[in-house]
Amino acid sequence: MKRRIAALLMMLALTGSCGTAGAETALLADLLRSVDYGDGVTYVIGHKSPDADTIGSAIAYAWLLQQLGINARPAAAAEVNRETRYALDLFGMAQPEILTDAAGKQFILVDHSEYSQALDGMKDARVVGIVDHHGIGDVRNTQRIPVLSLPAGAAASIVYRMYLDCGVEIPRDMARVLLMAVLSDTKGMNSNVTQLDREAVDALRVIAEISDIGALYAGMKAAKASFEGMTVSEIFHSDYKEYTAGAVTFGVSSVYTEAEESLAELAEKIEGEFPSLYAQDGQDLLFCLISTDETSWMIWYGEGAEQAVRESFPEYDGSGRMIFVPKASRKENIVPPLTAALENWER
């Protein structure tokens, strides 16, 4: 009963503070509130190897849900990557609490919807919502929960839209982490961009009070490309995702470097460590996409990995590495053909 009253008060407060929030715009807020969240905390969390979109979406979506009277808290599956840390430091904001085991807890997932990319133990957790831009994963809950997936360059662009649809004003700090997130996933609005991302960035840059988004993204990119003091395993895992296709599991790392001349050096280093990375990750196949702004090199490891490349990329020349010009996107150019090829394999 107390919760109900608190929610009603919150609704009144929102309606009072935001004159434009009419009956139509409050519909999504009502639907989000209608879920049975129980008495405990609901963690809002993104995927493993957290990137800027995963972190920005978790922080901003948890904040939105808090405004709706929901006991939501942002969380992360690991330390944030360098790009994200750079931006959060710049904004004077803290990284979310790090969780190591999902079992027994309650979650809303952002920026992923597959168990293979979720915090360990997620199959033994309760998932009460999903906001994603990667299609539909295998996370299950047969109860009535809000699941929102849209064709967007970043999950954060969807979260931005949800603020509008809930009639909740976006504060400066939330605009900043959302902007950080969209710029990261769209490579500075140069990749995977949809109309939703454009609308989000146009609005967010004003609220965030960040006039030069090019400079913000350049700083993030430079931080990401700095491998100083990092082991090869840390470089490989700084942006690493795991997938399942039929009976085959595979991991794909994406490494960004600013300098063309570092491509060969990085490829050699990672190839040298592949046996131990392979043992560590427990996947059937490993791939690594090393990119500059212009080009990508793909390298791989594991029995059948080269065969998978042959089947997925008919243009592969058999040289042991594959070069993409212009650069390739893991999400757009690498994972879909690999998945399609590997789905027919028997193991």
Positions that interact with Mn ion (CB under 5 A) = 53, 111, 155, 185
DSSP track, 193-211: --HHHHHHHHHHHHHTT-S
- Considering the complex, state which of residue 131 and residue 266 has its C-beta at the smaller distance from Mn ion: 131
> DSSP E strands: which ranges in 35-105?
42-45, 72-76, 97-98
| Cα–Cα dist 342/12, whole Å | 53
Please state the closest distance from residue 83 (CB atom) to Mn ion, in A: 13
Query: 53 or 197, CB closer to Mn ion?
Result: 53
Query: Smaller CB distance to Mn ion: residue 185 or 239?
Result: 185
Q: From the CB of 175, what's the least distance to Mn ion, in Å?
A: 18
Element at 215 (helix H, strand E)? helix 213-225
Of 107 and 301, CB closest to Mn ion? 107
Please check whether residue 33 is in contact with residue 69, taking contact to mean a CB–CB distance below 8 angstroms.
yes
- Of residues 111 and 114, the one with the C-beta less far from Mn ion: 111
Which whole-number Å values give the CA distances from 33 to 66, 73, 78, 332, in the listed order? 10, 15, 29, 34
Report, in Å, the least distance between residue 300 CB and Mn ion: 23
Least Å distance, CB 331 to Mn ion, is: 8
- Shortest distance in whole angstroms from residue 47 CB to Mn ion: 8
Question: Largest Cα–Cα distance in the chain?
Answer: 67
Rounded to the nearest whole angstrom, what is the least distance from the CB of residue 45 to Mn ion in the complex? Answer: 13
Cβ closest to Mn ion, residue 53 vs residue 114: 53
Is-contact 108 72, C-beta < 8 A? yes
Nearer Cβ to Mn ion (185/284): 185
Place of tokens 């394999």: 345
Q: Could you tell me if 110 and 58 are in contact, meaning their C-beta atoms sit under 8 angstroms apart?
A: yes
Write down the least CB distance from residue 273 to Mn ion, Å. Answer: 26
What residue number has its CB nearest to Mn ion?
Answer: 53
Of the candidates 322, 317, 275, which has an alpha carbon nearest to the alpha carbon of residue 297?
Answer: 322
Q: How many residues in total does the chain contain? A: 347
Q: Which residues pair with 301 in a beta bridge?
A: 286
The answer to whether 162 and 130 are in contact (CB under 8 A) is no
Asked if residues 340 and 313 have their Cβ atoms less than 8 Å apart, the reply is: no
- CA–chain centroid gap for 288, Å, is 18
- Considering the complex, what minimum distance in angstroms separates the CB of residue 155 from Mn ion? 5
Q: What does the alpha-carbon distance between residue 101 and residue 283 come to, in Å, rounded to a whole number?
A: 20
- In the complex with Mn ion, the residue whose CB is nearer, 53 or 165, is 53
